[in-house]
Amino acid sequence: MAHRLQAMREDDNMLIDSPSMRGLEVIRSINDGNYKVEIITKDELKTYRMKQIRYITDPDLARYITDQLDDNDGNLDMTDPIIVFIDREGNKVIIGGNHTRAGILSSKKATSAKVINLGNLYDEGWSDAEVRMLGILLNPKPKKRRNPSSNDDFVKTLVNNFETDGILIEDPHNLIFLMQAGCSSRECTAIISKAKDAVDKINVGKMLGGVWKKWDPRSIESQETIDAFSDSKSITWMMTSKLFDWRKIMDKVFANMGGSRKNLRILIHHPTPDAESKWINDVKPMHTKLLDTFLVPAGYTYELIELATIISETESVI
């Protein structure tokens, strides 16, 4: 059975008395196909307990497994068998494959799971340390290490290909490329959307003779901008046009109940040209009407100040 599980093989001539040796022998036996792979239902999988071996879990990995299952109608070929053993109380406990379990249970298409049952290790004389080491050895560090490409790497590649070769972001070949590089359908959608936003910024910047301004509300620059627009009669803060947050508005109002500041001054920044267009055509008119209806009768005034979107390479933003 071809299997992803690998472990460092000790020199056959060396005998090492270590608690980890039992784990290595089990992994070799799994790789040699000496353990039967069973298919269980999703409902049965829910009853299995989990043994937390790793320090932290990786939700992105579980989400990737879910996406791959959903993209392939629940086919289990891309998943490894979940490794379980029987504990002292007779419960089936997952010692390897917690991320696979999470991915399967979150999948809309998956209905079953592959499982290898190691049996009751404690009855065979295993110690807690040996069981724990086995859990780690099921997911060892590879000898040949690589740092896989990130979503930001893919975005940069698509943008650079547009600039050098004129390949449109929406070109079907980009989708094929991303799938060949191991991206799930959800990741492909997010990457293409982000790359399109980046190209829109470049195009608008070139057209208007500058670059698209990226605002980070947590930066010193943004705080200085807020300070520059502040006064004793106004509550001033920054908000993205992509998310007009009424909860934040109400928080500001309630925090100032009985106070003297009755003007809300919201500094709007546009993360993308598309967000700016939607703000102008849809978001601003709708929320202005709501502000006039609910906020003004309560004795408040408001200002929606749009911050710079295009600046030159050397221009100061303030």
Q: How far apart, in Å, are the Cα atoms of 236 and each of 223, 252, 276? A: 10, 9, 21
pLDDT for res 316: 44
Q: Are strands 234-240 and 263-269 parallel, antiparallel or unpaired?
A: parallel
Give 231-290 pLDDT, tens digit per residue: 989 999 999 998 988 998 898 888 887 788 899 999 999 998 889 989 999 999 999 999
Question: What are the pLDDT digits (tens) for 80-139?
Answer: 999 999 999 999 999 999 999 999 999 999 999 999 999 999 999 999 889 988 988 898
Q: Classify 21-137 by CATH class.
A: alpha beta
Instruction: Kindly state the tokens that stand for 254.
Output: 């309630």
Q: What is the enclosing helix (H) or strand (E) of 70?
A: helix 59-71
At residue 20 the predicted structure's pLDDT band, cuts being 50, 70 and 90, is confident
Give the per-residue pLDDT at 157: 92
pTM: 0.63
- Mean pLDDT value across residues 40-54: 88
Helix (H) or strand (E) holding 12: none
Position 56 scores a pLDDT of 66
5: confidence class by pLDDT, cuts 50, 70, 90: very low
pLDDT in tens, 162-203: 988 889 999 999 999 999 899 999 999 999 999 999 999 888
The span from the CA of 59 to the CA of 308, in Å, is: 37
Judged by average pLDDT, the poorest of 54-58, 152-156, 226-230 is 54-58
Place of tokens 């917690």: 98
Which pLDDT belongs to residue 253?
86
pLDDT at position 10 over 60:
no
Cβ(91)–Cβ(125) below 8 Å:
no
Closest of 109, 123, 26, 21 to residue 65, by C-alpha: 109
Beta partners for residue 24, in sequence order? none
Check pLDDT > 90 for residue 18: no
Q: Give the model's pLDDT for residue 146.
A: 82
Distance CA 153, CA 195 (A): 10
Q: What is the DSSP string of 8-44?
A: PPPPTT-----TTHHHHHHHHHHHTT-SPPEEEEHHH
Would you say residue 13 has pLDDT above 90?
A: no
Residue 186: CB atoms within 10 Å: 14
Query: pLDDT class for 43, splitting at 50, 70, 90?
Result: very high
Q: What integer pLDDT is reported at residue 136 of this predicted model? A: 87
In contact, 120 and 86? CB cutoff 8 Å: yes
Predicted confidence at residue 6, as pLDDT, reads: 43
Q: What pLDDT score was predicted for residue 55?
A: 60
Q: Give burial (CB, 10 Å; 0-12/13-18/19+) of 99.
A: buried
Q: Any bridge partners for residue 92, and if so which?
A: 86
Query: What pLDDT is recorded for position 2?
Result: 36
* CB atoms near residue 28 (< 10 Å): 14
- How confident is the model at residue 97, as a pLDDT? 92
Cβ atoms of residues 262 and 300 within 8 Å: yes
What residue segments make up the domains of the chain, in order of their start? 21-137, 151-207, 220-311
Higher pLDDT, 214 or 100: 100
Task: Please state, in angstroms and rounded to a whole number, the distance separating the CA atoms of residues 179 and 61.
Answer: 16
Confidence of residue 159 (pLDDT cuts 50, 70, 90): very high
